[in-house]
Structure 1
């Protein structure tokens, strides 16, 4: 009898444990998605936005004649910048000491931060110094360029050749062209993104996506008419890119311009053409105007487009172009904005840029140099309200 009771007790315990375990597993299955799966309750856009957050912020780095700092465009608060944000790598080990060393002069000439901001490529230009005047450095006397790859967290650098090595599909003449720049680096995917800034003289590709391990570059189609790459052409995740293509319609004044959209994974053919000719009009100055810079929204559905005189917003899904800002002018001078750099907020609700405010003569200078007092402005696109955030002598948006 005691054996039967014991068996019955054991059976009841097993049943209780089974029920309790089932309840726990049920809640675990609901609350925690399985490894490698995607929670269906989250939209694809939410997931994309989460991944883009790493590469996108509504804070920008600005510099003036006195300092470099960061400003939150939402709150207007000023923040200090990191050494990497101001491209100061003096504390990194493995880099040569800048300045004069014997008959050579070392100067940081370029740096390229990876998408995850965990690594940075640094180029050091080495110049020869005149024997008669050891303080004179001829800017055209570059002996060599030394390249380094640096771990940001460890502040440690070692020799590299990623930017200077030979790549199949990237002609040496293009790579050495003064108009060629490396615009981005995805260190995880081992991809470099480069572009020619203009192509007005000969047929050539503008965009290059290079696999640094295979040493092969893909490029867009070559063109024999005017086309160029504005600053900011690559999207935040570097999976999309735009260039501007133009052709004469009825003489030099009326020029048709297209914004050409590519996916960087396939540069063999454009994804879409956007006719942006209306951004320039048909007046006598239209032929001299051009797209200088673009800026992407975080979801990559909107583009801010800056010409020499105006700022527009292009809805890439609806193919609609709207005017956001026209640079003011007076009878004496045209106060053109600093069209070399433009910023579009993550939600595409405002644009930030630097505008000229006034001309100031430096009375202390023997050269009577003129410097600009510039202002960082923000345009709220819903109501076209212009807000001044910060002013400084020689202010620029980095």
Structure 2
């Protein structure tokens, strides 16, 4: 593991200069991290258009940004506000030239978006969602089956409310809605394993059971209809103090991997590029956003889960250093494999998108 002391960097961004204190980011040998897009307040979910436009969603900001590379030099131009005044537009996805946006209360579609960046069309309403704001920021993605998946988090820390704590899927037009996975407290990231097409997703564990329990989870859903335990069981083996007597942990699908308690695992992404060494291809990156209520902070890093035959065989840090002795300099959120094989990482604390590349 090589320590990459970046300090105060001056980075050209479309003619402007942005100064950012990255601290000391530790990466494996041969890897480099830099800022690809600056000045994106509350940068959260990422999606890439067919013409190369990078879309960046926010949670608190109510905005969706669009970033282009007009001169084709590999550097993104300054971000532009594409949509504004939305309600928690955390979830975004691209499908057949349209931008899909999951707000707190609905999913809408903007057709032909890359041809209309200067003047976006009126949204087409596809689905209405619950309006509760606790865990009300949605994650959105299209699966290999062509269906649209959206996470509907629990409206509480711990409760048993029908219609919540699920990942649901539907056709691209919003029809034929069904539950893909139940017992999912709050997933803010999922992806499909390229070889099998199976869904893998993060899930944030409940709060106020102490510093070290329960764990956050990485889960695998090889078929629809599985229940992953919430609110009855956590981490596959911890009965909940309030709801644990109603159901046994053995009744539920166990986690593929128990992560650290309170690390706030968000974005997950299988590496499908060719730039990184062979050992990284097909493996799963996880963005640990970082704890907010632990006596000693944890997370604030990227992890790498190595998977063989549907099982996680190891989990180790890949990029860390956003949590230092002087505090927090960044919080990774979402991940996206760029066309050149580099890894884009959003950071809602620093308001940037990083690019991690490999060049030995």
Given the two structures, how large is their TM-score scaled by the length of structure 2?
Answer: 0.49
More helix by share: 1
User: Which of 1 and 2 has higher RCO (CA within 8 Å, sep 6+)?
Assistant: 2
Q: Which has the larger radius of gyration?
A: 1
